[in-house]
């Protein structure tokens, strides 16, 4: 399969630079899985599109203010993007550093001396913070939100709240699970009152989510690894949903990747925790999800390919063409689709 098959023309002015307010006022393109006409709705219409017994599965991750300013003793400023701590450690972090650094060099971040360690093949570094340093607390106190590269402005104080979900409680991501950004506490309460249940997974989104597919053939691309957790309570909620005839709707591609990794274990869908680099693309089909709510994705991206596992490439690209004609807002702060 060719990556070029997932290309489409996107006018730059449709890339959302600011989040819409309130959250659930975003537009929602409903793409019926069974076929039929597209429906132009808004997110707060979700209760009319879901039914009692359905299950929404969310990613409960929380974004770290991971973009930090650093200084060198020799020649000035650098920018650090924290990615994740090394396995089993709290003070050695994988990070991206903008500006030249060398192994063994020291950086100063908020008056804390940090040592630059090994260089990885992908260009990331290991940064060693002092023993006992609470790196997450340093980021919360001194960091900025790591807005995606296609948002062409600096993060501000409003992004601290708006680039988070209302329920995220597990710090660890450097990008938001953007489909969930549309949910308010009031909308969640309306859905619960209607009999729509909720369950949670965790996937710590890394910067590789924005990496373009740089091979000609889809099968030749290796996706970035991310840490995920699909707990027993969510597996039980899915089983109960299936038993009552409900539909399992993933809210975001990160949820799909977590559930589908868990579903591909020996013995099928079961609790699972660990690193996943699952790359979902046709002709693969989704095993754990009956529907998907997700934002609009970049051309030629792994996420676009994932969505086509559920909908099919031709129908997906036709829906994106309609979204462009109707001036939907694209990407992280943009509008959403519901494939159900």
Q: Which has the minimum average pLDDT: 79-88, 104-113, 198-207, 264-273?
A: 79-88
pTM for this one?
A: 0.96
The answer to whether residues 179 and 251 belong to one domain is yes
| 213 within domain boundaries | yes
- Could you give the CA distance from residue 146 to residue 175 in angstroms, rounded to a whole number? 7
Q: Residue 288 is part of a domain; what is its CATH number?
A: 3.40.1780.10
The answer to whether residues 109 and 83 belong to one domain is yes
The answer to whether residues 190 and 328 belong to one domain is yes
Q: How confident is the model over 99-126, as pLDDT tens digits? A: 888 899 999 999 999 999 987 767 789 9
The answer to whether residues 102 and 212 belong to one domain is no
Q: What is the model's pLDDT at position 74?
A: 80
| 37 within domain boundaries | yes
Final residue belonging to a domain, choices 116, 142, 168: 142
The answer to whether residues 133 and 266 belong to one domain is no
Nearest to residue 336, comparing CAs of 182, 161, 147, 148? 182
Q: How confident is the model over 134-190, as pLDDT tens digits? A: 999 999 999 999 999 999 999 999 999 999 999 999 999 999 999 999 999 999 999
Residue 139, Ramachandran bin (φ over 0: left; ψ between -120 and 50: alpha; else beta) = alpha
Q: How confident is the model over 242-258, as pLDDT tens digits? A: 999 999 999 999 999 99
The answer to whether residues 175 and 28 belong to one domain is yes
| 129 within domain boundaries | yes
| 152 within domain boundaries | no
| 47 within domain boundaries | yes
Final residue belonging to a domain, choices 89, 108, 142: 142
Final residue belonging to a domain, choices 142, 173, 202: 142
What DSSP string describes 14-28? Answer: GB--S--SSGGGSEE
| 171 within domain boundaries | yes
Q: Which has the minimum average pLDDT: 139-143, 173-177, 221-225, 284-288?
A: 221-225
The answer to whether residues 241 and 304 belong to one domain is yes
| 328 within domain boundaries | yes
Compute and round to an integer the Cα radius of gyration of the chain.
Answer: 20
Report the sign of the C-alpha dihedral through residues 188, 194, 199, 205, in that order: negative
Q: What is the model's pLDDT at position 184?
A: 98
Residue numbers of the domain that contains 96: 67-142
Read off φ and ψ for residue 151, nearest 5 degrees.
Answer: -90, 110
The answer to whether residues 200 and 270 belong to one domain is yes
Give the three-class secondary structure for 48.
helix
The answer to whether residues 57 and 103 belong to one domain is no
Name the domain count of the chain.
2
Nearest to residue 187, comparing CAs of 16, 28, 17, 14? 28
Give the three-class secondary structure for 4.
helix
- Could you give the CA distance from residue 31 to residue 39 in angstroms, rounded to a whole number? 7
| 165 within domain boundaries | yes
The answer to whether residues 230 and 326 belong to one domain is yes
pLDDT > 70 in the chain, percent? 99
The answer to whether residues 15 and 115 belong to one domain is no
The answer to whether residues 90 and 227 belong to one domain is no
Q: Residue 89 is part of a domain; what is its CATH number?
A: 2.40.10.240
Contact 221, 79 (CB under 8 A): no
């Amino acid at each position: 399969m060719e990556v070029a098959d997932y290309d489409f023309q996107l006018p730059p002015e449709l890339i959302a630079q600011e989040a819409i307010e309130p959250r659930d006022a975003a537009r929602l393109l409903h793409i019926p899985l069974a076929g039929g006409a597209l429906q132009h709705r808004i997110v707060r219409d979700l209760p009319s599109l879901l039914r009692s017994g359905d299950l929404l599965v969310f990613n409960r991750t929380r974004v770290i203010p991971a973009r930090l300013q650093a200084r060198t003793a020799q020649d000035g400023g650098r920018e650090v993007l924290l990615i994740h701590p090394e396995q089993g450690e709290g003070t050695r972090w994988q990070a991206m550093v903008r500006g030249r650094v060398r192994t063994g060099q020291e950086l100063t971040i908020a008056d804390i001396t940090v040592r630059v360690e090994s260089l990885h093949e992908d260009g990331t570094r290991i940064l060693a913070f002092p023993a006992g340093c609470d790196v997450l607390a340093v980021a919360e106190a001194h960091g900025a939100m790591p807005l995606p590269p296609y948002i062409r402005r600096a993060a501000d104080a409003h992004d601290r709240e708006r680039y988070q979900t209302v329920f995220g409680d597990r710090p660890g991501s450097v990008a938001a699970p953007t489909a969930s950004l549309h949910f308010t506490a009031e909308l969640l309460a309306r859905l619960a009152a209607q009999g729509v249940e909720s369950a949670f997974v965790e996937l710590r989104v890394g910067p590789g989510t924005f990496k373009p597919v740089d091979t000609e053939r889809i099968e030749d691309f290796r996706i970035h690894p991310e840490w995920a957790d699909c707990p027993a309570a969510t597996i039980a909620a899915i089983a109960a949903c299936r038993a009552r005839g409900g539909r399992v709707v993933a809210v975001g591609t990160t949820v799909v990747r977590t559930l589908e990794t868990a579903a591909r274990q020996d013995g099928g869908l079961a609790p699972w925790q660990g690193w996943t680099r699952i790359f979902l693309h046709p002709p693969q089909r989704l095993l754990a999800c009956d529907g998907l709510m997700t934002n609009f994705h970049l051309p030629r991206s792994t996420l676009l390919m994932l969505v086509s596992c559920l909908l099919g490439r031709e129908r997906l690209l036709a829906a994106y063409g309609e979204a462009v004609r109707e001036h939907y807002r694209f990407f992280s702060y943009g509008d959403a689709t519901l494939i159900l």
